[in-house]
């Protein structure tokens, strides 16, 4: 974009510059920013941006990055028990990709002037959140398939529009993430298909997993539109392109025929095609459960965060060693050059 | 030399395949617990490479899933080194250093021959060169990092030393110059430990009681528990496909 480079904005207090002049300057920056957003141009790291836009993006990207790394846990739970070597390889590759997605996203957040260490600290102290879905336990192997199909499916529905998000680094990270996620989603669906067409016990395992993961997956789209505090502003800034309820509906419309193809039922007696709307109607979500999980009272909130903190604490001596080694050896290198 | 060409190939494929399978499993246990995100990626990457090797090798010997999931502890032919629990990050790195150095030399030799493993070895030698590089760099960082990391790394290389001799005992079906392999291994590891300011362990590299050890199906106690976890689901659904 052709916006003004940040760095000179907000000169209030500089001798000789009156408050009115500063305010006018500020308004000029805002006008350039608003015009860029309106024209669907990308905002880049060095461009001026409103502080609230920056803060909102840091919050969203960090939460997204945290979700990737906390999201490794429920699936990693099954790596050592995967029932075939092929499935084990697929699952390992998926968990590895999630770590990679976390890395892209922390990098994207860092372009906004924060650091990975700072964000991780906020995660570890509960000041930043991650997706509520990862507070549910993976109780059987079929949960791995259900997560791939439903959880990744919901994530993709959320993330594809983010590939057109107004902030360039986030949009570009999303392009890469979505490609890999789509691959995982197909693999999850295929794993579930093998179960639903397998033995009676396998079919029952698949149905049970879908019964447990369906509603939490619908909750991944966030609160209903009339209770979503961030939506209006995020849409005005073109960070978000659709409301929570629009995306949730899109996901249901895709998932219902997929469930039929799997030969599995969805745990909602109210699902039926609405000819008039051209969409599937579906039952009411238990928002009490949603808010409860979000507040930290889900089945695995403590476990997930404790494990993450533990990994970080246990790894402290390793990170310190790497830093000390780097310092010693760049030091020696520097002397040799001098 | 014993047995026909086929049974000899099977025996060697099991020894090498079980090594890769078991170490891959151990590395898979790290998922979600690594000290930094980059190591989540690296350890999973190495685990995946090893699992890929295991699948090729076990398929040479039979059905990969039957071999992985339906054999009991006494029928596994992996070396005891690879089944050692992860311990702290230093233990994992010491195990990687010892094993990837061995694997790189081994696959180097196999790739230059024309035996049944030449094709696999030619591909795998590129992967294990990366694994060795990764292990060496971490050995340097931990050995020559802080006093704490130095202490832990020394403890790890000492603790695992006694499992390294087994890697160079004859494997039926592998016609290699094992003494040359052992010498090259010792040179390489000695060089890395020296650069990492660590002391090369002085103890024996194998115990009299455990002669032959893992290659003869004689394992350490933690291995049975590892297999119980790995095989449980598969064994609970006989005949199922996944």
Q: What is the pLDDT of residues A45-103, one digit of tens each?
A: 999 999 999 999 999 999 999 999 999 999 999 999 999 999 999 999 999 999 999 99
Q: What is the pLDDT of residues B98-157, one digit of tens each?
A: 999 999 999 999 999 888 999 999 999 999 999 999 999 999 999 999 999 999 999 999
3-state secondary structure of B144: coil
Give the integer Cα–Cα distance in Å for B186 and A152. 47
C-beta separation of A90 from A147 below 8 A: no
C-beta separation of A150 from A191 below 8 A: no
**pLDDT exceeds 50 at position A323:** yes
**pLDDT exceeds 50 at position B1:** no
Residues 165-194 of chain A with CB under 8 A from chain B are 191, 194
C-beta separation of B84 from B163 below 8 A: yes
- What pLDDT is stored for residue A19 in this prediction? 81
Q: What is the ipTM of this complex?
A: 0.96
**pLDDT exceeds 60 at position A144:** yes
Closest CA to B135 of B78, B192, B79, B173: B192
**pLDDT exceeds 90 at position A229:** no
C-beta separation of B230 from B25 below 8 A: yes
- What pLDDT is stored for residue A338 in this prediction? 39
Asked whether the beta carbons of residue A324 and residue B149 sit closer than 8 angstroms, the reply is yes
Q: What is the pLDDT of residues B167-203, one digit of tens each?
A: 999 898 998 889 999 999 999 999 999 999 999 999 9
- Angle, CA of A192, A198 and A202, to the nearest 5°: 70
**pLDDT exceeds 60 at position A5:** no
- What pLDDT is stored for residue B90 in this prediction? 98
Q: Which of B40, B46, B93, B237 to mutate to test the interface with A (most CBs of A within 10 A)?
A: B40
- Angle, CA of B95, B97 and B99, to the nearest 5°: 65
User: Residue A8: which pLDDT band, with cuts at 50, 70 and 90?
Assistant: very low
**pLDDT exceeds 80 at position A177:** yes
C-beta separation of B45 from B52 below 8 A: no
Closest CA to B196 of B146, B133, B141, B157: B141
Residue of A85, A307, A317 with shortest CB distance to B68: A85
- What pLDDT is stored for residue B5 in this prediction? 66
Give the integer Cα–Cα distance in Å for A212 and A259. 14
DSSP code, position B163: T
CA torsion angle A134 A138 A141 A142 (round to 10): -70
- Please list the residues that pair with A273 across neighbouring strands: A280
Class of domain B5-236 (CATH, top level): mainly alpha
- Alpha helix (H) residue ranges in chain A: 19-38, 51-70, 72-76, 85-110, 116-124, 141-146, 152-159, 168-196, 200-219, 231-236, 244-262, 287-292, 301-314, 316-337
- In which residue are the tokens 């999850």 written? A188
Kindly state the percentage of chain A with pLDDT values over 70.
Answer: 93
**Rg, C-alpha atoms of chain B:** 17
Chain B residues lying within 8 Å of A328, measured CB to CB: 144
3-state secondary structure of A294: helix
Residue of B25, B35, B58 with shortest CB distance to A318: B35
**pLDDT exceeds 70 at position B3:** no
DSSP code, position A151: I
- Please list the residues that pair with A274 across neighbouring strands: A279
- Burial, A254: exposed, middle or buried (Cβ in 10 Å; 0-12, 13-18, 19+)? middle
Asked whether the beta carbons of residue A320 and residue B149 sit closer than 8 angstroms, the reply is yes
Delimit the domains of chain B by residue range.
5-236
A80 touches B: beta carbon within 8 Å: yes
Give the integer Cα–Cα distance in Å for A60 and A170. 10
B160's tokens: 């695992």
Q: What is the mean pLDDT of chain B?
A: 95
Give the integer Cα–Cα distance in Å for B104 and B98. 10
3-state secondary structure of A274: strand
3-state secondary structure of A278: coil
**Predicted TM-score of the model (pTM):** 0.93
Give the integer Cα–Cα distance in Å for B182 and B174. 15
């Amino acid at each position: 974009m052709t916006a003004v480079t940040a760095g000179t904005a907000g000169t209030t207090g500089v001798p000789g510059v009156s408050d009115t002049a500063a305010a006018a300057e500020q308004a000029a920056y805002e006008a350039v920013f608003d015009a860029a957003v309106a024209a669907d141009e990308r905002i880049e790291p060095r461009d001026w941006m409103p502080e609230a836009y920056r803060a909102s993006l840091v919050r969203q990207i960090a939460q997204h990055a945290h979700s990737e790394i906390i999201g490794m846990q429920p699936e990693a739970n099954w790596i050592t028990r995967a029932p075939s070597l092929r499935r084990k390889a697929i699952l390992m590759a998926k968990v590895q990709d999630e770590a990679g997605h976390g890395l892209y996203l922390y990098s994207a957040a860092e372009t906004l002037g924060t650091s990975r260490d700072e964000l991780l600290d906020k995660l570890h102290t509960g000041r930043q959140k991650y997706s509520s879905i990862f507070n549910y336990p993976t109780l059987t192997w079929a949960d791995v398939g259900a997560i791939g199909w439903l959880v990744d499916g919901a994530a993709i529905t959320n993330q594809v529009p983010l590939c057109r998000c107004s902030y360039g680094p986030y949009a570009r990270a999303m392009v890469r993430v979505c490609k890999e996620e789509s691959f995982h989603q197909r693999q999850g669906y295929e794993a579930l298909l093998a179960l639903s067409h397998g033995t009676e016990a396998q079919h029952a395992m698949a149905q049970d997993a879908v019964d447990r993961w369906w509603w939490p997956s619908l909750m991944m789209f966030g609160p209903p539109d009339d209770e979503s505090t961030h939506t209006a502003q995020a849409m005005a800034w073109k960070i978000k392109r659709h409301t929570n309820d629009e995306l949730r509906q899109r996901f249901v419309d895709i998932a219902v025929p997929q469930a039929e193809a799997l030969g599995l039922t969805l745990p909602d007696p109210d699902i039926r095609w609405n000819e008039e709307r051209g969409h599937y109607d579906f039952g009411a979500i238990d928002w009490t459960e949603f808010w409860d999980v979000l507040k930290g009272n889900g089945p695995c909130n403590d476990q997930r965060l404790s494990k993450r903190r533990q990994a970080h604490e246990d790894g402290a001596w390793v990170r310190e060693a790497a830093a000390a080694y780097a310092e010693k050896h760049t030091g020696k290198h520097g002397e040799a050059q001098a | 030399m014993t047995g026909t060409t086929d049974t000899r190939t099977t025996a060697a494929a099991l020894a090498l395949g079980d090594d890769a399978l078991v170490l891959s499993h151990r590395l898979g246990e790290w998922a979600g617990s690594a000290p930094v995100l980059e190591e989540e990626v690296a350890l999973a990457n190495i685990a995946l490479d090893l699992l890929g090797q295991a699948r090729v090798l076990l398929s040479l010997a039979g059905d990969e899933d039957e071999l992985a999931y339906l054999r009991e502890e006494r029928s596994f032919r992996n070396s005891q080194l690879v089944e050692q629990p992860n311990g702290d990050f230093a233990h994992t790195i010491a195990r990687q250093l010892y094993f990837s150095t061995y694997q790189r030399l081994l696959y180097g030799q196999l790739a230059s021959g024309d035996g049944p493993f030449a094709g696999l070895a030619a591909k795998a030698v590129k992967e294990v060169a990366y694994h060795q590089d990764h292990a060496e760099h971490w050995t340097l960082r931990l050995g020559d990092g802080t006093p704490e990391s130095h202490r832990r790394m020394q403890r790890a290389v000492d603790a695992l030393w006694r499992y390294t001799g087994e890697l160079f005992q004859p494997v039926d079906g592998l016609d290699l110059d094992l003494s040359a392999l052992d010498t090259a291994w010792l040179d390489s590891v000695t060089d890395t430990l020296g650069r990492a300011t660590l002391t090369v362990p002085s103890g024996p590299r194998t115990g009299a009681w455990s002669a032959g050890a893992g290659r003869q199906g004689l394992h350490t106690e933690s291995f049975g528990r590892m297999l119980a976890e790995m095989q449980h689901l598969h064994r609970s659904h006989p005949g199922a496909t996944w």
